[in-house]
């Protein structure tokens, strides 16, 4: 959809504030053109001696009343129109946020977080201004221009009006040239701001790494370079916007010279009164606003066009995974992967090839293998972050793609190796998994995840803020908070993607025991554990060993040990390492 169409739909849906603002602006314009005409009559009345003191005060009173009415009407239409434009900005931000939430990892691998944040701020601000201030200035300027020119032509003298308007075509040509430069300058300014945002976001996220490597000065130099580029781009845009004022000034001076020259001649010849020339001069002064409004509107429209050129591709980018599912009932039954093959977008190498596995409801599946063997990729396909290139995945009676994403996400709890914690308290981070969770439920989940004792030692207990991304917690604490959150959700399928890598073996064993007791209490609760530690999957009903995206070994723990392959060798190595660590 084009931006013009989007704004047209919004205006139709919210026509009341726009109609009210238009009526108020029309009243302001009518009162504005009334003032010069009335002043001209007062001047002619004084020159002819027709006005005494009382009559003069009465006539001046009308001018004061008109000024007061203009003041209050201008305040009122601003409240009406700007409130409507702010609502459009809020709708656009909501639409952008909703779209981003539905995109998969591939989209975010291509787009910087800082640039996306710039879209939600500067770019939408430009669209918001165009839907409010530009529409206001365009309507007000056009209406004022029509009414002033009409009064100059029909109410005073058409010859003076024609002479005054002679320079205006040259101003229109100058505006056209300036606006074309503003579009490119505005586009460059928005793109430079996006790159600056990207660098700031990355720097703040990795500030501890930069400090550890002593790269603060290099990062600061890069920031200075990007900030200078952004400032220069913004200055270029402002420089072209500033070019509107000289064009208006030259046009107005030329019109004034022509008006005074011809007007003075007409007054000398008795074809025009001094009051009429005074009124005409005031009308000519009132043309300043329509001229400035034209420049301002062109500037805002070019900024809007540049911003929409960046926004529209993001809003129209196809979803990484289309949500065309129709099944809204929670999946129940076995999880079946048949001939699943997958390669990441832009890569020819297969990340998974010919995966066949059936996981019964209530069972635990262990997935192990060397780094890069495809373990996390398998989890991502089950999460529907990506779609399989070949084969299919079924859960219960339906294919995974038949379920709506909302239904599927409610049925899943996922704990990645690097869990994300929000800038909130420990209790709020755990309680995210369940709306209106009680403190007792949160504490029980923390106990099952073996984080309760750590929380008890924190300054404010469960009310302790964890900082951005859980910066105040250790890696093991973050993992256990995330596990507690997943356990509180009590989803049908729990996926632990190397989620115990940062905890010690004793804590891992305790958590797995709690997990086994909890999941077996409900016979339909299925678990998938991805781990480098074989001890984490020892009690699983079925274990997959992946290598280069293929299943090379599978079975139970005992049968895999008897097979004498990779699993058995890795088990002996890890057991030896554990005994050495214990000593």
pLDDT tens for 319-366 read: 777 778 888 888 888 899 999 999 988 788 889 999 999 999 888 999
Query: What's the rounded mean pLDDT across residues 85-111?
Result: 78
Mean pLDDT check: name the lowest of 47-51, 367-371, 435-439, 440-444: 47-51
Predicted pLDDT of residue 1: 56
Predicted pLDDT of residue 132: 67
Query: What's the rounded mean pLDDT across residues 418-429?
Result: 86
Query: Measured between alpha carbons, how far is 572 from 577 in angstroms, rounded to an integer?
Result: 9
pLDDT > 80? residue 110: no
* Contact predicate 272/281, CB 8 Å: no
Tokens of 91: 């709708």
pLDDT band at 173 (very low <50, low <70, confident <90, very high): confident
Query: Measured between alpha carbons, how far is 382 from 372 in angstroms, rounded to an integer?
Result: 18
Predicted pLDDT of residue 159: 81
Predicted pLDDT of residue 385: 85
- Element (DSSP H or E) covering residue 493: strand 493-497
pLDDT band at 126 (very low <50, low <70, confident <90, very high): confident
> E strands within 344-481?
352-359, 364-369, 390-395, 398-399, 412-415
Q: 3-class secondary structure for 275-340?
A: HHHHHHHHHHHHCHHHHHHHHHHHHHHHHHHHHHHHHHHHHHCCCCCCCCCCECCCCCCCEEEEEE
pLDDT > 60? residue 148: yes
Query: What's the rounded mean pLDDT across residues 505-526?
Result: 81
**527 Cβ neighbours under 8 A, 6+ residues apart:** 363, 364, 365, 493, 494, 495, 496, 515, 519
Mean pLDDT check: name the lowest of 250-264, 287-301, 477-491, 525-539: 287-301
Query: Measured between alpha carbons, how far is 382 from 526 in angstroms, rounded to an integer?
Result: 13
Would you put residue 396 in left (φ > 0), alpha (ψ -120 to 50) or beta?
A: left
Q: Which residue has the tokens 């007792």?
A: 440
pLDDT > 80? residue 452: yes
Query: What's the rounded mean pLDDT across residues 186-196?
Result: 79
pLDDT band at 164 (very low <50, low <70, confident <90, very high): confident
**121 Cβ neighbours under 8 A, 6+ residues apart:** none
Residues 226-236 pLDDT 10s: 888 888 877 87
Mean pLDDT check: name the lowest of 196-210, 383-397, 543-557: 196-210
Q: For 3-316, give the CATH class.
A: mainly alpha
CATH superfamily assigned to domain 335-582: P-loop containing nucleotide triphosphate hydrolases (3.40.50.300)
pLDDT band at 44 (very low <50, low <70, confident <90, very high): low
pLDDT > 90? residue 550: yes
Burial of 9 (0-12, 13-18, 19+ CB in 10 A): exposed
Query: Measured between alpha carbons, how far is 289 from 140 in angstroms, rounded to an integer?
Result: 9
**525 Cβ neighbours under 8 A, 6+ residues apart:** 362, 490, 492, 493, 494, 518, 519
Mean pLDDT check: name the lowest of 77-81, 239-243, 496-500: 77-81
pLDDT > 90? residue 546: yes
Predicted pLDDT of residue 582: 59
Fold match between domain 3-316 and domain 335-582: no
> Which DSSP letter does residue 538 get?
T
The SS3 of residue 412 is strand
Query: What's the rounded mean pLDDT across residues 146-156?
Result: 75
- Where exactly are the structural domains of the chain? 3-316, 335-582
- Beta-bridge partner residues of 336: 358, 394
187 vs 411, higher pLDDT: 411
Q: Which residue has the tokens 């890890």?
A: 574
pLDDT > 60? residue 135: yes
Predicted pLDDT of residue 331: 87
Predicted pLDDT of residue 336: 92
387 vs 320, higher pLDDT: 387
Tokens of 110: 């291509």
Mean pLDDT check: name the lowest of 130-134, 420-424, 429-433, 464-468: 130-134
Query: Measured between alpha carbons, how far is 498 from 217 in angstroms, rounded to an integer?
Result: 36
Predicted pLDDT of residue 366: 92
Query: Measured between alpha carbons, how far is 256 from 280 in angstroms, rounded to an integer?
Result: 10
Predicted pLDDT of residue 188: 80
> Which long-range contacts link 261-269 to residues 24+ away (Cβ below 8 Å)?
261/163, 262/159, 262/160, 262/163, 263/160, 266/157, 266/159, 266/160
When the pLDDT of each residue in the chain is averaged and rounded to a whole number, the result is: 80
Tokens of 6: 């989007």
Query: What's the rounded mean pLDDT across residues 21-41?
Result: 73
Predicted pLDDT of residue 387: 85
pLDDT > 90? residue 367: yes
């Amino acid at each position: 959809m084009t931006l013009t169409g989007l704004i047209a739909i919004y205006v139709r849906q919210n026509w009341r504030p726009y109609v009210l603002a238009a009526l108020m602006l029309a009243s302001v314009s009518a009162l504005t053109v009334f003032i010069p005409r009335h002043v001209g009559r007062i001047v002619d009345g004084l020159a002819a001696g027709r006005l005494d003191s009382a009559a003069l005060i009465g006539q001046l009173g009308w001018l004061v009343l008109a000024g007061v009415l203009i003041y209050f009407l201008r305040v009122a239409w601003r409240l009406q129109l700007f409130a409507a434009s702010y609502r459009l900005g809020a709708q656009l931000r909501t639409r952008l946020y909703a779209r981003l939430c539905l995109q998969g990892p591939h989209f975010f691998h291509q787009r910087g977080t800082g640039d996306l944040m710039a879209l939600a701020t500067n770019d939408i601000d430009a669209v918001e201004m165009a839907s409010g201030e530009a529409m206001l200035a365009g309507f007000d300027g056009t209406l004022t221009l029509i009414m002033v020119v009409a009064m100059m032509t029909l109410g005073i003298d058409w010859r003076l009006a024609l002479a005054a308007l002679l320079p205006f075509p040259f101003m229109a040509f100058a505006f056209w040239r300036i606006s074309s430069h503003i579009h490119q300058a505005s586009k460059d300014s928005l793109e430079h701001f996006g790159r600056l945002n990207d660098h700031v976001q990355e720097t703040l996220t990795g500030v501890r790494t930069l400090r550890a490597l002593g790269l603060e000065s290099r990062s600061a130099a890069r920031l200075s370079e990007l900030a200078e580029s952004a400032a220069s781009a913004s200055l270029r845009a402002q420089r072209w916007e500033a070019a509107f004022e000289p064009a208006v000034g030259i046009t107005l001076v030329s019109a004034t010279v022509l008006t005074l020259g011809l007007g003075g001649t007409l007054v000398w010849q008795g074809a025009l009164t001094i009051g009429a020339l005074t009124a005409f001069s005031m009308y000519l002064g009132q043309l300043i606003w329509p001229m400035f409004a034209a420049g301002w509107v062109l500037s805002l429209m070019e900024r809007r066009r540049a911003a929409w050129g960046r926004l529209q591709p993001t809003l129209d980018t196809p979803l990484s995974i289309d949500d065309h599912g129709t099944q809204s009932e929670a999946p129940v039954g076995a999880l079946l992967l048949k001939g699943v093959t997958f390669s990441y977008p832009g890569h020819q190498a297969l990340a998974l090839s010919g995966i066949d596995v059936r996981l019964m409801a209530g069972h635990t599946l262990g997935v192990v293998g060397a780094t890069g063997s495809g373990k996390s990729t398998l989890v991502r396909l089950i999460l529907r972050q990506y779609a399989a290139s070949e084969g299919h995945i079924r859960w219960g009676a339906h294919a995974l793609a038949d379920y709506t994403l909302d239904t599927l996400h409610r049925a899943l709890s996922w704990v990645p190796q690097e869990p994300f914690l929000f800038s909130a308290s420990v209790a709020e981070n755990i309680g995210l998994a369940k709306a209106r969770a009680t403190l007792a439920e949160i504490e029980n989940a923390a106990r099952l995840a073996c984080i309760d004792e750590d929380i008890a030692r924190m300054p404010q207990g469960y009310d302790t803020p964890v900082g951005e991304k859980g910066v105040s917690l250790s890696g093991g604490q973050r993992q256990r908070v995330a596990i507690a959150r997943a356990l509180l959700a009590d989803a049908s399928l729990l996926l632990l993607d190397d989620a115990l890598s940062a905890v010690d073996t004793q804590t891992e064993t305790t958590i797995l025991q709690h997990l086994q007791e909890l999941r077996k209490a409900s016979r339909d609760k299925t678990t998938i554990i991805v781990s480098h530690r074989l001890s984490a999957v020892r009690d699983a009903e079925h274990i997959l060993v992946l290598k280069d995206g293929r299943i090379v070994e599978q079975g139970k723990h005992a049968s895999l040990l008897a097979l004498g392959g990779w699993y058995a060798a890795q088990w002996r190595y890890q057991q030896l390492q554990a005994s050495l660590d214990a000593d």
